[in-house]
A and B are shown apart, each in its own frame.
Chain A
Amino acid sequence: MSKILEVNNLNISFHTFAGEVKAIRGANFHLNKGETLAIVGESGSGKSVTTKAIMRLLPESNSEIKEGEILFDGKDLTKLSDKQMQTIRGKEISMIFQDPMTSLNPTMTVGKQIMEPIIKHQNMSKSAAKQRAIELLKLVGIPMAEERFKQYPHQFSGGMRQRVVIAIALACNPKILIADEPTTALDVTIQAQILELMKDLQKKIDTSIIFITHDLGVVANVADRVAVMYGGKIIEIGTVDEIFYNPQHPYTWGLISSMPDLDTAEDELYAIPGSPPDLLNPPKGDAFAPRNEYAMKIDLEQEPPMFKVSDTHYAATWLLHPDAPKVEPPAAVMKRREMYPSYNNK
């Protein structure tokens, strides 16, 4: 599989009154062609900042890419001028935002908003763009597309609005689609419809998707690969099966154990103690160490590198070091390992 996007050693800081917040501290990952990569992590872990950096949507006044590169089709996006970036944003890479209530312009008809990127990027005439917009509305499953074309966002329900947002994002057949919590604001039944729609469209137009969410159920449903972020870093990355059935990092263990599945009957849920790290003064060593019951002395002193688990699976925890003591993961993780014994031997 060929890589369509590569993020190397990305470091992003925000300058605030309180000082420099190191929001992203050396993130590395890539996106393969045609796949869906899910990025999970709690709020403040840097998921949205990473994707906004790819789209260059971070505020210029107080944010800064300190280091690193974002390679798309061989070009480093961090080096492009604003003008060049405009030819990529919305055309080659487009984005679906979390809240369909606020990401549409309430004063413009839905049709006009879909036509905008088509006219801008594909030099189509107005009437051709209109045809294309109606086609897109049909594609995302909006009935009576011709009439809906002339309506305003407030005349649509939440799920329908998110379909419109998806239609806008897909208007120019982007190579990469970034979906930043696209279903968090929606009900489960609507969420299921939108996820099905996205998977269906991915097959039809062959895009690669970066899917940000904190809902592990959604991840299991859509992702091919999963990257887990914590404290501005990717701390574990692997195929969806590897992450769900053979997680290695204690933070991933915590995430997986703290979500009850429908059979969980234990008296108490596993809860990750404490709260996320303060990135104004990132802790020395592993950022997760203070909340990690498996933390060793070295975790407090030195940051763990990415250890290889398999060709596709990497995790940044000292527990994978050959000299590290063997530890028993939480019961919920052990149960998952048993569900998928083929990962046990590794």
Chain B
Amino acid sequence: METRKKLLEIKNLKQYFNVGKPNEVRAVDGISFDIYEGETLGLVGESGCGKSTTGRTIIRLYDATDGEVLYDGVNVHGKKSKEELKAFNHKMQMIFQDPYASLNPRMKVSDVIAEGIDIHGLAKTKEDRMNKVYELLETVGLNKEHANRYPHEFSGGQRQRIGIARALAVDPDFIIADEPISALDVSIQAQVVNLMKKLQKEKGLTYLFIAHDLSMVKYISDRIGVMYFGKLVELAPADELYNNPKHPYTQSLLSAIPLPDPISERSRKRKTYDPKMHNYQADESVELREVSPGHFVLCSEKEFEQYKK
């Protein structure tokens, strides 16, 4: 893993809302992790834990309160000229959760997909532009005839394919997928996940996959980060996280997922998590520590010794 190239480095990223007001929210409170080239990093946690905000801050939909996001060694945030921003948007794209809300209902599918192509001037002629659109539609499993239709003529799964085609239009290296399948039916979810995996293989994409469906995340991700109240509490390779969860919150989260297996469901024992159980002292430094190679847990020095065993 050390030999792999870090595509993205997130260092002590903070995103506060309503700073200085009584209703200040620390949505993301100092998280650090790396994303390697070509991998899928899953980010899970309950709603309000800051996983979507993390994704949105990384792609600069929000300006970070503090911390750095280094993409290929270059900071994403901070003052940037229009050209610099464009170059950056070229590499990073996003797929949104709700395929009904994320496509402009007044634009034809071809224009939705080609918007990025137009902005970045990737097509020389009109014909070239349409050819690119057709190609993208085919890549995501739709066909040419769909280009002249409007979003309302499509089902949820098809719309999400359009959203994926739009993200691919500028040939990005890195895609943030914010719950791309949670609004879809089970039978359609598998189609979209397969498509995303196929595209990753063909184009060498890197994904940040945000979701709360843990079995799907496990399936698609190489590594998984678990967030709780704006903090990353555990980060580990997918199998390691599921087989050997260390942080009590991760354990509680895993014990809450119902599996499609009636026999194991009958004997399910759910663990509950109470942040007070750590009983951290004021002088203890609680940080992300590596308990085994590639497996990080948010813990104090004392817990660290326990987790290492």
Q: Are A214 and B215 interface neighbours, CB within 8 A?
A: no
- Which of the candidate stretches B80-88, B126-134, B190-198 sits at the interface with the other chain? B190-198
Q: Are B190 and A269 interface neighbours, CB within 8 A?
A: yes
A196 interface residue, CB < 8 Å from B? yes
Which residues of the other chain, B, contact A331 by a CB distance below 8 angstroms? none
Residue of A nearest to B215 (CB): A260
B260 interface residue, CB < 8 Å from A? yes
Tell me, in angstroms, the Cα distance from A195 to B268 when the chains sit together: 12
Q: Are A244 and B260 interface neighbours, CB within 8 A?
A: yes
Find the residue from B214, B255, B263 having the highest chain A CB count within 10 A: B263
Which residues of the other chain, A, contact B156 by a CB distance below 8 angstroms? 43
B47 interface residue, CB < 8 Å from A? yes
Find the residue from B187, B218, B260, B268 having the highest chain A CB count within 10 A: B187
A-B contact pairs, 18 of them (CB 8 A): A187-B212, A188-B214, A215-B186, A217-B215, A217-B260, A218-B258, A219-B260, A220-B259, A220-B261, A220-B262, A241-B262, A245-B262, A255-B187, A256-B260, A259-B186, A268-B194, A271-B187, A275-B158
Tell me, in angstroms, the Cα distance from A221 to B256 when the chains sit together: 11
Render B34-45 as a binary contact track against A, CB cut-off 8 A, 1 for contact. 000000000000
Render A26-50 as a binary contact track against B, CB cut-off 8 A, 1 for contact. 0000000000000000110000000
Tell me, in angstroms, the Cα distance from A58 to B258 when the chains sit together: 32
Tell me, in angstroms, the Cα distance from A42 to B183 when the chains sit together: 12
Which residues of the other chain, B, contact A190 by a CB distance below 8 angstroms? 46
Q: Are B219 and A260 interface neighbours, CB within 8 A?
A: yes
Render A255-274 as a binary contact track against B, CB cut-off 8 A, 1 for contact. 11011111010011111110
Tell me, in angstroms, the Cα distance from A262 to B238 when the chains sit together: 10
Q: Are A188 and B212 interface neighbours, CB within 8 A?
A: yes
Q: A43-B185, A259-B215, A264-B219 are in contact. Are A189 and B256 (CB under 8 A)?
A: yes
Find the residue from A188, A190, A196, A264 having the highest chain B CB count within 10 A: A188
Q: Are A258 and B47 interface neighbours, CB within 8 A?
A: no
For the A-B complex with A221-B265, A275-B157 known, give 7 more contacts whose Cβ atoms are closer than 8 Å: A191-B258, A192-B255, A244-B261, A264-B215, A271-B187, A271-B190, A339-B263
A119 interface residue, CB < 8 Å from B? no
Q: Write the nearest CB–CB distance from A215 to chain B, whole angstroms.
A: 7
Residue of B nearest to A196 (CB): B270
Which residues of the other chain, B, contact A339 by a CB distance below 8 angstroms? 261, 263
Which residues of the other chain, A, contact B253 by a CB distance below 8 angstroms? 188-189
Number of contact residues on A: which range applies? 35 or more
Tell me, in angstroms, the Cα distance from A187 to B44 when the chains sit together: 11
Number of B interface residues in the complex (CB < 8 A): 39
Picked from A42, A191, A261, A273, the residue with its CB within 8 Å of the CB of B261 is A261
Chain A residues with CB under 8 Å of chain B are: 42-43, 158, 187-192, 195-196, 214-221, 223, 240-241, 244-245, 254-256, 258-262, 264, 267-273, 275, 339-340
Tell me, in angstroms, the Cα distance from A47 to B242 when the chains sit together: 33
Tell me, in angstroms, the Cα distance from A196 to B265 when the chains sit together: 12
Q: A220-B258, A221-B268, A260-B215 are in contact. Are A188 and B194 (CB under 8 A)?
A: no
Tell me, in angstroms, the Cα distance from A267 to B155 when the chains sit together: 26
Q: Write the nearest CB–CB distance from B273 to chain A, whole angstroms.
A: 8
Q: Write the nearest CB–CB distance from A337 to chain B, whole angstroms.
A: 13
Residue of A nearest to B258 (CB): A217
Residue of A nearest to B182 (CB): A184
Tell me, in angstroms, the Cα distance from A188 to B273 when the chains sit together: 13
Picked from A42, A220, A267, the residue with its CB within 8 Å of the CB of B186 is A42
Picked from B47, B216, B219, B242, the residue with its CB within 8 Å of the CB of A187 is B47
Which residues of the other chain, B, contact A273 by a CB distance below 8 angstroms? 191
Picked from A219, A260, A271, A272, the residue with its CB within 8 Å of the CB of B218 is A260
Which residues of the other chain, B, contact A259 by a CB distance below 8 angstroms? 186, 190, 215, 260
Q: Write the nearest CB–CB distance from A275 to chain B, whole angstroms.
A: 5
